[in-house]
Amino acid sequence: APAPPPARHLFSDPAEVEALRGNLLAWYDRCKRDLPWRALAATEPDANKRGYAVWVSEIMLQQTQVATVIDYYNRWMQKWPTLQALAQASLEEVNELWAGLGYYSRGKRLQEAARKVVSELAGQMPRTAEDLQKLLPGVGRYTAGAIASISYGQATGVVDGNVIRVLCRLRCIGADSSSPSVIDRLWDMANVLVDRSRPGDFNQALMELGATVCVPKAPLCGECPVKQHCQAWHRKLFGKPPPVPDVEDCGVGDCPLCPPATEPWDSSLGVTNFPRKAAKKPPRTMRTATCVLERRGCHGAPEYLIVQRPSSGLLAGLWEFPSLPLAQDLQEKKEREELADHLQAWMGQPVAAKGLHFIGEVIHIFSHIHQTYVVYSLHLDGDVTLNPALSPSRWVTEKEFHASAVSTAMKKV
Ligand code: SF4
pLDDT digit string, tens, across residues 183-242: 999 999 999 999 999 999 999 999 999 999 999 999 999 999 999 999 999 999 988 778
pTM of the entire predicted model: 0.81
Query: Looking at residues 113-131, what average pLDDT do you find?
Result: 96
> Do 395 and 325 lie in a common domain?
yes
Confidence of residue 404 (pLDDT cuts 50, 70, 90): very high
- Residue 206 resides in a domain: yes
Question: What pLDDT does 17 receive?
Answer: 96
Listed in sequence order, the residues at least 6 apart from 75 whose beta carbon sits closer than 8 Å to its beta carbon are 97
From 212, 224, 238, 276, mutation site for ligand 1 pocket: most ligand atoms within 8 A of C-beta: 224
> Do 65 and 113 lie in a common domain?
yes
pLDDT digit string, tens, across residues 9-24: 889 899 999 999 999 9
Residue 71, phi then psi, degrees to nearest 5: -65, -45
163 touches ligand 1 (CB under 6 Å): no
How much is the mean pLDDT over the chain? 92
CATH number of the domain enclosing 355: 3.90.79.10
pLDDT digit string, tens, across residues 247-270: 777 765 678 888 888 888 899 999
- Residue 2 resides in a domain: no
Rounded to whole angstroms, the Cα distance separating 107 from 113 reads 10
* 248 catalytic per annotation: no
Rounded to whole angstroms, the Cα distance separating 189 from 15 reads 15
Rounded to whole angstroms, the Cα distance separating 200 from 293 reads 51
> Do 48 and 74 lie in a common domain?
yes
Number of domains in the chain: 2
> Do 141 and 232 lie in a common domain?
yes
Rounded to whole angstroms, the Cα distance separating 11 from 66 reads 30
CATH number of the domain enclosing 43: 1.10.340.30
Last residue of a domain, one of 219, 251, 273: 273
8 A C-beta contact, residue 203 and residue 167 = no
Is pLDDT of 1 > 60?
no
Rounded to whole angstroms, the Cα distance separating 101 from 70 reads 11
Q: Looking at the DSSP assignment, which residues form a beta bridge with residue 306? A: 394
Catalytic residue among 58, 208, 303, 320: 58
> Do 72 and 110 lie in a common domain?
yes
> Do 239 and 384 lie in a common domain?
no
- Residue 289 resides in a domain: yes
- Residue 120 resides in a domain: yes
SS3 label, residue 381: coil
Question: What pLDDT does 382 receive?
Answer: 72
Q: Looking at the DSSP assignment, which residues form a beta bridge with residue 358? A: 376
Is pLDDT of 119 > 80?
yes
Domain that holds residue 204: 7-273
Is pLDDT of 353 > 70?
yes
Element (H, E) at 58: helix 47-61
pLDDT digit string, tens, across residues 285-301: 999 999 999 998 877 88
SS3 label, residue 179: coil
pLDDT digit string, tens, across residues 159-177: 999 999 999 999 999 999 9
> Do 367 and 244 lie in a common domain?
no
8 A C-beta contact, residue 219 and residue 213 = yes
CA 150 to ligand 1 centroid distance, Å: 24
- Residue 1 resides in a domain: no
Measured from the Cα of 230, ligand 1's closest atom is 4
